[in-house]
């Protein structure tokens, strides 16, 4: 396998999938389904239709769906379609106008 292919690997959880349990992934994860459990991934993308009930740890997180839980990431981007309740712990945080947030945020240096 060449290095380009290895860099492009990601797991995708479609909108018709429901997971009850924790997800641990060394690579990237795109979620469009429902997760009831904690997520630990390199780079995480939570799509608009996704529903997450659990804590998240990642290097970067793009949140467009619903999250109820704590998010710890180097970089967090919250899209306007996001609905988040919990706490953020990050170095870099960006929030689009229109996002629904009920959070506590702590910036790490």
Q: What is the pLDDT along the chain (109 residues), one digit of tens a residue?
A: 444 445 568 899 999 999 999 999 999 999 999 999 999 999 999 999 999 999 999 999 999 999 999 999 999 999 999 999 999 999 999 999 999 999 999 888 7
- Give the pTM: 0.90
User: What is the residue-wise DSSP string for 11-42?
Assistant: EEE-TT-EEES-EEEEEEEEE-SEEES-EEEE
Q: How far apart are CA 68 and CA 100, in angstroms?
A: 12
């Amino acid at each position: 396998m060449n290095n380009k292919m290895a860099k492009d690997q990601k797991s995708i959880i479609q909108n018709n999938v429901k997971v009850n349990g924790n997800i641990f992934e060394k690579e990237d994860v795109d979620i469009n389904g429902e997760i009831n459990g904690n997520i630990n991934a390199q780079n995480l993308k939570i799509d608009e239709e996704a529903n997450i009930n659990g804590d998240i740890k990642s290097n970067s997180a793009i949140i467009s769906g619903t999250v109820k839980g704590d998010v710890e990431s180097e970089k967090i981007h919250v899209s306007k379609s996001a609905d988040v309740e919990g706490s953020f712990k990050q170095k870099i945080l960006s929030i689009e106008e229109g996002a629904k947030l009920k959070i506590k945020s702590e910036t790490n240096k």
